[in-house]
Amino acid sequence: MADLVSILDGNTFVVSDERGDIEASSTDPTGLFSFDTRFLSRWVLTIDGQRLNALSTDDLNYFEARFFLVPGTGTVYVDSKLSVIRKRNVAEGFHEELTILNHDDKPVELTVRIDAGNDFADLFEVKDALDKQGKYETRVEPERLVLSYVRETYQRGTAISSSKPAAIDKEGLTFDVRIGPGGSWTTELDVMTTLLASGQPRALPKVRSVGRNVKTTMQTDLARWLDAAPRLQCDSETLGLTYRRSLVDLAALRFSPLTAGRRSLPAAGLPWFMTMFGRDSIFTSLQALPFAPELAATTLRELGMRQGTRVDDFREEEPGRILHEMRYGEMTAFEERPHSPYYGCADATPLFVVLLDEYELWTGDRKLVREFEREARAAIAWIGDYADRQNNGYVSYKRKNEETGLENQCWKDSWDSISYSDGRLAGFPRATCELQGYAYDAQMRAARLARVVWKDTVYAEELEKRAADLKRRFNRDFWIESKGYFALALDADGEQVDSLTSNNGHLLWSGIVDKSKAKSVVQHLLGPRLFSGWGIRTLAEEEGRYNPIGYHVGTVWPFDNSFIAWGLRRYGYGREAAQVAAGVLDAAEYFQGRLPEAFGGYDRSLTKYPVQYPTACSPQAWSTGAPLLFLRTMLGLEPAGEHLVVDPALPVGIGHVELLDIPGRWGRIDAFGRGRVETGKRSGRQATLTR
């Protein structure tokens, strides 16, 4: 596929080719999308019947792009008397300023044509190529072209209009244009989407062109967002670039659910996952807490309000369960897909409680913690009740929706991610180890909140007792004595799934690991089978299913590594945390500061550069958040009462680092550090543990 250009705002986005044209087939992922529905699948510009040729394309901002074009295609040599500029920004659909310049000393007469059409595909249909059940209608009105789709009460529409008069037919707009010598011609095109905002089919708007104002608002908003974040001053150019990239990408990834008003939370990834995901929104909010704490507040609110209250096997909803994914498209509307919302995930519920506590530690916002006491208690109850699917005191998962539900309900959600050393796949239910860590941490943190905020010491003591019991059992049942690390999971028979995985690092983060076992765990994490030199692999070399470019069976995930670094610091391994941070941040340099979702698990000494894993979404929220969490772990930022403790452990190569105006319950505080930690040889093969 040729280079695609994406611009977006919230969950409205436009994906076109480098000319700005859209020619989507039913399974092709280009077009104008909003609320998980395609609103434009054809948008092709011609001049005198000729397609255009792209000279250059600028992504001005995440919400606007500019295309410089000339007529004629296919030739290397371009000598045109005309040039064409399309400037496009997202605005309740999109707004496009089309300008044609005549460089000749004679006037020109041109037929400018825009072909338009739409299939109103659901995002799920774009993936699966399914047939539509509703009716299409195309209406030519005096000043606009209206495309619509109706299935029973479900309606979606697209209205296309122009500031210059056009001859409108059912397949597009035609302009007869005359441009004087050295002159230019411009029209402004608006493509407006209509949907069931707040459940009410909005009338197709009569007034056109709000586009320009929306753009100005978005520019101001982005400037304000960057201004509110802590300032980073550092010797490392890569770190500076990566930090700025992360903040801008995080701004782009903000998403406001229909009911959230102006508040926003991090969506999972651009552009296909611009929706609320329990797990992704929580992890990203945790990473961003020291930088943009308001994301966590919205995440907690929106997820809390949608917490499960009943048993519904199709949606895998259960009382107390936090949602996995929400969608607004046609298939969800007709209950052909369960995403209204879908609850099939085993980790978002304990992580919700973890985020609630971490949010209070940083911000001191007890009001929100009081407001969501019921939800936090319901989440804790779910952990001990519905989530214990084998009645053995461990959280496990097995889908109830066999048709469209998710098989793997942990973050490593691909089909082959949970395997034994010999490569066999574990049966269901699966009690993966990191789920027990999250459950432990959630109970410990809820106990703190119960003492400090809810003033219920009886509940606090009960939670601490349960957590201590879980920790004791876990260190007995999951620990593989002969190998010196924790099993990936317990299978349906309670047997250990014995492969070596990065999940061990999440256990450190949760604090469920006995102190006496930590050193051995750390040796494995930084040892040659897991540490590639760029980061810690999801699955260790020599395991049956290890594949350096397997999605969850050998690649290195920046998000995974950032939480592992946090865990390493929690257990006092600052040098090793710095080593992991240094590896992943070195890799960021090869991606212009934008870390991909994952990169290959090849040894660093072998490839010399990180090999990107091909995924459809970039940026990905929790990869965007990873450098932020690395900054936190390298500087050793930990809230302690009304203070922020700074305890730097920075890798030698990074030089001087200052993070200024870190927001929190202390107001604003600066943190300083200098790279003093020798992180050892750069290759994972030669990495040694000196502790």
Stretch that binds other proteins, among 54-62, 80-88, 148-156, 168-176 (CB under 8 A): 148-156
> At closest approach, how far in Å is the CB of 5 from other proteins?
29
Which of these, 644, 531, 624, 651, lies nearest to 267 by C-alpha position?
624
10 contributes a contact to other proteins by CB under 8 A: no
340 contributes a contact to other proteins by CB under 8 A: yes
Residue 264 is given by DSSP the state -
Which of residues 278 and 639 has its CB atom nearest to other proteins in the complex? 278
Which of residues 338 and 684 has its CB atom nearest to other proteins in the complex? 338
- Contact (CB, 8 A) for 623 and 615: no
Peptide bond before 619: cis, by omega within 30 degrees of 0? yes
- Contact (CB, 8 A) for 332 and 36: yes
639 contributes a contact to other proteins by CB under 8 A: no
365 contributes a contact to other proteins by CB under 8 A: no
Which residues neighbour 610 within 8 Å (Cβ) at sequence distance 6 or greater? Answer: 534, 556, 587, 590, 591, 599, 600
**Helix segments in 229-347, DSSP class H:** 237-252, 278-288, 294-305, 330-333
Rg (CA), the chain: 27
Q: Interface mask (CB under 8 A) for other proteins, residues 390-409, using x and -?
A: ----------x---------
Give the SS3 label for residue 366: helix
At 212, which helix (H) or strand (E)?
helix 211-228
309 contributes a contact to other proteins by CB under 8 A: yes
Identified binder of other proteins from the candidate list 167, 223, 226, 305, rule CB under 8 A: 305
At 350, which helix (H) or strand (E)?
helix 348-363
201 contributes a contact to other proteins by CB under 8 A: yes
Which of residues 328 and 485 has its CB atom nearest to other proteins in the complex? 328
Identified binder of other proteins from the candidate list 198, 482, 516, 690, rule CB under 8 A: 198
Stretch that binds other proteins, among 308-316, 475-483, 490-498, 612-620 (CB under 8 A): 308-316
Q: Interface mask (CB under 8 A) for other proteins, residues 252-281, using x and -?
A: ------xxx---------------------
Structure tokens at 510: 């949760």
153 contributes a contact to other proteins by CB under 8 A: yes
Q: Parallel, antiparallel, or unpaired: how do β-strands 52-61 and 135-140 relate? A: unpaired
> At closest approach, how far in Å is the CB of 332 from other proteins?
6
Identified binder of other proteins from the candidate list 271, 304, 505, 558, rule CB under 8 A: 304
> At closest approach, how far in Å is the CB of 308 from other proteins?
9
Stretch that binds other proteins, among 97-105, 145-153, 531-539, 566-574 (CB under 8 A): 145-153
What is the per-residue DSSP string for 374-411? HHHHHHHHHHHTTT-TTSSSS--B--S-TTTS-S--SS
> At closest approach, how far in Å is the CB of 533 from other proteins?
47
Instruction: Find residue 657's DSSP bridge partners.
Output: 234, 673
What's the CA gap between 356 and 373, in Å, rounded? 10
Which of residues 333 and 631 has its CB atom nearest to other proteins in the complex? 333
Q: Interface mask (CB under 8 A) for other proteins, residues 49-88, using x and -?
A: ----------------------------------------
Give the SS3 label for residue 83: strand
Identified binder of other proteins from the candidate list 1, 79, 135, 200, rule CB under 8 A: 200
Which one-letter amino acid corresponds to residue 51?
R
Give the SS3 label for residue 444: helix
Which one-letter amino acid corresponds to residue 687?
A
Q: Parallel, antiparallel, or unpaired: how do β-strands 650-651 and 643-645 relate? A: unpaired
What's the CA gap between 23 and 10, in Å, rounded? 23
Which one-letter amino acid corresponds to residue 486?
F
Stretch that binds other proteins, among 238-246, 302-310, 578-586, 655-663 (CB under 8 A): 302-310
Identified binder of other proteins from the candidate list 137, 313, 495, 678, rule CB under 8 A: 313
Which of residues 137 and 176 has its CB atom nearest to other proteins in the complex? 137
428 contributes a contact to other proteins by CB under 8 A: no
314 contributes a contact to other proteins by CB under 8 A: yes
244: exposed, middle or buried (Cβ count in 10 Å: 0-12, 13-18, 19+): middle
> At closest approach, how far in Å is the CB of 314 from other proteins?
7
> At closest approach, how far in Å is the CB of 316 from other proteins?
10
Which of residues 200 and 482 has its CB atom nearest to other proteins in the complex? 200
Which residues neighbour 197 within 8 Å (Cβ) at sequence distance 6 or greater? Answer: 258
Which of residues 155 and 163 has its CB atom nearest to other proteins in the complex? 155
What's the CA gap between 245 and 225, in Å, rounded? 13
State the number of binding residues for other proteins (CB under 8 A). 35
What's the CA gap between 347 and 266, in Å, rounded? 17
Which of residues 409 and 510 has its CB atom nearest to other proteins in the complex? 409
Positions in the binding site for other proteins (CB under 8 A): 151-155, 196, 198-201, 258-260, 304-306, 309-315, 317, 328, 330, 332-335, 340-341, 371, 374, 400
